[in-house]
Amino acid sequence: MKLPVVAIIGQTNAGKSSLFNRLARRQQAIVAREAGTTRDNVVTKIDDRYLLIDTAGLKDPDDEFEANIQNQIDDAVESADLILLALDSSKYPNHDDKLIAKKALKSGKPTLLLLNKSDLGESLPNEEFLNLGIKYPLRVSATTSQGLNDLRNRITDELAKLGFKDKPVKSDEDSLKIALIGRPNVGKSSLFNTLAEKQQAIVANLSGTTRDINRTEIRYKGRTIELLDTAGLRKPGKREVGIEKFSALRSLAAIEEADVCCLLVDSTEPHSKLDQALAGQIVDAGKGIILVVTKTDLEHQDTDEILDKLEYDFKFIPYAPVILTSSVTGKNATKIFELATQIDRARHAELKTSDLNKVLHEAIRMHPPAGLKNTHPRLRYMVQTDTCPPWFVVYGSNLSLLHWSYKRYLERCLREAYPFEGTPIFFSFRNRD
């Protein structure tokens, strides 16, 4: 089932990112005193109930770069089911605030007015904001959490009015979501059609044909697989005004929604920094990842050369499996389902503490951590604290001295001992005397 989308909009420094982090209960959006810190839309999933979007501050598009940012905001408004308009309650609403409110109301989407920073003594009364045309403002404070519970309840109520369930949107226990991610014209829709065994997605040589998330359900070995086809992503500065930016936002949302992401790269083109950035976004989201090389049915292709280049360009994710595919011949297409199933199992793996510590102590025995002259990090024990993705906490002393290369070494040791192919794993290090 599709998750509803909630977007936070407003002027720069209204506290949108702080509210976003409070609602998300984690520091995902960058927060700074300088206006305009958020330069791109940030998307996260809230309690499996809805997707929350943090946007850049609205202001006049006085240059092309700024216009691109403003277009992203328009995309967020367009894609949202519910809009949260955040204002600084200590400042009288100005002309720009009225334009932003007009933009939200013109969209026809339900809009909640949030008077942020209401913990400040100079906060203005509600009456000063009534001329914006939005009734019943909510007083909140991202700093003190004032009004945050009321806000969460209002979001739930408004989404319920729109027909969305007020309970977490959960798929069937045996279901698996796979998203096809990549640059335009890399072959996502063709692969989608091959996997779906029907011409469901529009396929054309013109880049940007797919505008939204196209989805279908497939049964594979008794399991339901929901396949998500997304629009191609260009660098932000190269995206066209309007609908393509909206598509980019939906693609990022698909990463959040998916369990496993297939990052498609074209065998006929060199890998770009955008390919690498997309891989980084998938990993940062904690999703499983498969590198899918498309168009490998062409003549005069050197498979070894393709794999060597791929290994070099994506050396930061050596655990990601690679599949060489062709939508024309159907080469290795269903192998994606098999790999995704294995990766999903790895993401859900729960390891015994005793087994983890065998790995840890053997790693220390083989390669003790370095430190200062008279002080060395001491790693005492390791526990698993979460799954999807797997998360491990290492306890010890003087862990601030632990070099990043040693942390990588521990990850390699754990991956050699257990099958974590295709899934990122995360570590935390905590001092305990």
- Quick check: 200 and 237 in contact, CB under 8 A? no
Mark whether 13 and 76 lie in a shared domain.
yes
Mark whether 155 and 184 lie in a shared domain.
no
> Is residue 385, in this structure, part of any structural domain at all?
yes
> Is residue 170, in this structure, part of any structural domain at all?
no
How far is residue 401 from each of residues 180, 372, 412, measured CA to CA in Å?
40, 8, 20
Q: What is the mean pLDDT of the chain?
A: 82
Mark whether 214 and 335 lie in a shared domain.
yes
Boundary of a domain, candidates 115, 134, 161: 161
What pLDDT band is residue 121 in, cutting at 50, 70 and 90?
confident
Which residues, 6+ apart, have CB-to-CB distance to 82 below 8 Å?
A: 4, 5, 6, 7, 50, 109, 110, 111, 112, 155, 158, 159, 162
Boundary of a domain, candidates 297, 315, 347: 347
- Give per-residue pLDDT as tens, 321-353: 999 988 778 788 889 999 999 999 999 999 999
Reading the block at residue 272, the tokens are 């770009």
Mark whether 149 and 271 lie in a shared domain.
no
Mark whether 140 and 232 lie in a shared domain.
no
Give the bridge partners for 324, in sequence order.
Answer: 293
- Mean of pLDDT values over 420-427: 94
Give the model's pLDDT for residue 248. 59
For the CA atoms of 176, 55, 23, 278, what is the dihedral angle to 10 degrees? 30
Which of 1-15, 176-190, 352-366 is the most confident on average? Answer: 352-366
> Is residue 169, in this structure, part of any structural domain at all?
no
Give the model's pLDDT for residue 18. 86
- Mean of pLDDT values over 358-387: 92
What pLDDT band is residue 150 in, cutting at 50, 70 and 90?
very high
> Is residue 291, in this structure, part of any structural domain at all?
yes
**110/100 Cα distance (integer angstroms):** 14
What is the percent of the chain where pLDDT is above 90? Answer: 42
- Give per-residue pLDDT as tens, 221-247: 888 888 888 765 555 554 444 434 444
Give the model's pLDDT for residue 239. 44
> Is residue 366, in this structure, part of any structural domain at all?
yes
Mark whether 412 and 298 lie in a shared domain.
no
On the question of pLDDT at 384 being above 80, the answer is yes
- Mean of pLDDT values over 89-100: 90
**412/408 Cα distance (integer angstroms):** 6
Mark whether 153 and 183 lie in a shared domain.
no
Mark whether 14 and 47 lie in a shared domain.
yes
More confident residue, 245 or 78: 78
Give the model's pLDDT for residue 55. 76
Mark whether 31 and 138 lie in a shared domain.
yes
Mark whether 221 and 305 lie in a shared domain.
yes
What is the percent of the chain where pLDDT is above 70? Answer: 80
Lowest mean pLDDT among 19-23, 86-90, 201-205, 208-212: 208-212
Helices and strands in the chain, H and E counts: 11, 15
> Is residue 332, in this structure, part of any structural domain at all?
yes
What is the number of domains present in the chain?
A: 3
Residue count of the chain, please give it: 433
Give the model's pLDDT for residue 333. 82
CA-based R_g, the chain, Å: 24
Q: Which domain holds residue 113?
A: 5-161
Mark whether 151 and 181 lie in a shared domain.
no
Give the bridge partners for 293, in sequence order.
Answer: 265, 324
- Quick check: 175 and 223 in contact, CB under 8 A? yes
> Is residue 194, in this structure, part of any structural domain at all?
yes
CATH of the domain at 143: 3.40.50.300
Which residues, 6+ apart, have CB-to-CB distance to 313 below 8 Å?
A: 271, 275, 276
Lowest mean pLDDT among 24-28, 296-300, 362-366: 24-28
Boundary of a domain, candidates 281, 312, 347: 347
- Quick check: 244 and 39 in contact, CB under 8 A? no
What pLDDT band is residue 433 in, cutting at 50, 70 and 90?
low
Mark whether 402 and 328 lie in a shared domain.
no
More confident residue, 226 or 289: 289
In three-state secondary structure terms, 130 is helix
What pLDDT band is residue 271 in, cutting at 50, 70 and 90?
confident
CATH of the domain at 386: 3.30.300.20
On the question of pLDDT at 369 being above 70, the answer is yes
> Is residue 166, in this structure, part of any structural domain at all?
no
In 3D, which of 422, 27, 1, 74 has the Cα closest to residue 248? 74
Give the model's pLDDT for residue 87. 92
Lowest mean pLDDT among 76-90, 211-225, 283-297: 211-225
- Quick check: 193 and 214 in contact, CB under 8 A? no
Give the model's pLDDT for residue 315. 93
Whole-structure pTM value = 0.62
- Quick check: 327 and 189 in contact, CB under 8 A? no
